[in-house]
Amino acid sequence: QVQLVESGGGLVQAGGSLRLSCAASGRTFRSQVWGWFRQAPGKERAFVAAITWSGTITDYADSDEGRFTISRDNAKNTVYLQMRSLKPEDTAVYYCAATQSGYSGPYYSLTGYVYWGQGTQVTVSS
Four-point Cα dihedral 87, 93, 96, 102, nearest 10: -90
Q: How far is Cα 46 from Cα 104, in angstroms, rounded to an integer?
A: 19
pLDDT tens, residue by residue, 52-77:
988 888 899 988 778 999 999 988 99
Over 80: is that where the pLDDT of 83 sits? yes
Over 90: is that where the pLDDT of 104 sits? no
pLDDT score for 27 = 79
Over 90: is that where the pLDDT of 101 sits? no
Q: Which amino acid is at 113?
A: Y
Q: Which helix (H) or strand (E) holds 126?
A: none
pLDDT score for 66 = 87
Model confidence at 31, pLDDT cuts 50, 70, 90, reads confident
pLDDT score for 74 = 87
Q: Which amino acid is at 42?
A: G
User: Average pLDDT of the chain?
Assistant: 93
